[in-house]
Amino acid sequence: MMMATLSVANYKIGVNSSAFWGQRKGFRLFWSWRIRHGKPGRPAVPKEVRKLIRMLSQENPLWGAPHIHGELLKLGLNIGETSVGKYMVRRRTPPS
C-alpha cells in the first residue's frame, strides 16, 4: 500500500518536472528569437530632447529633475525622470 502511493507521487512529480522543463525550453527559444530580431536595449533619447533638457536646466538653475520631467510631460514628451537627471547639466560646486 505504501509503495503504490509513493510511485503515484513520483509519477506526479515527473510529469510536473517535464512540464516545467518544456516551458523553460519555450521561454529560452522565445527570448533567443526576440534578441536576434530586434533592437537590443532601451530606445535612445532623441538628440532634440537631450538639448531641451540641457537648455531647461541651464536657464532654470533651481529646477531639479522632477520639475523638468513635469514640464516635458506637459509638452507631450514621455521620458523617465531618471533619464532627465542623467542628461541635466552638472554644476560645479565651489570648493569649501
Residue 16: pLDDT over 60: no
Residue 58, amino acid: Q
pLDDT of residue 96: 65
User: What does the domain layout of the chain look like in residue ranges?
Assistant: 47-87
pLDDT in tens, 28-70: 888 787 777 766 677 889 999 999 999 999 999 899 999 999 9
In the chain, % helix, strand, coil (3-state, to 5) comes to: 70, 0, 30
Residues 6+ apart with CB under 8 A from 65: 81, 82, 84, 85, 88
Residue 20 is predicted with a pLDDT of 58
Give the per-residue pLDDT at 37: 72
- Could you tell me which residue, 7 or 87, shows the higher pLDDT? 87
Percent of the chain at pLDDT > 70 equals 71
pLDDT of residue 21: 57
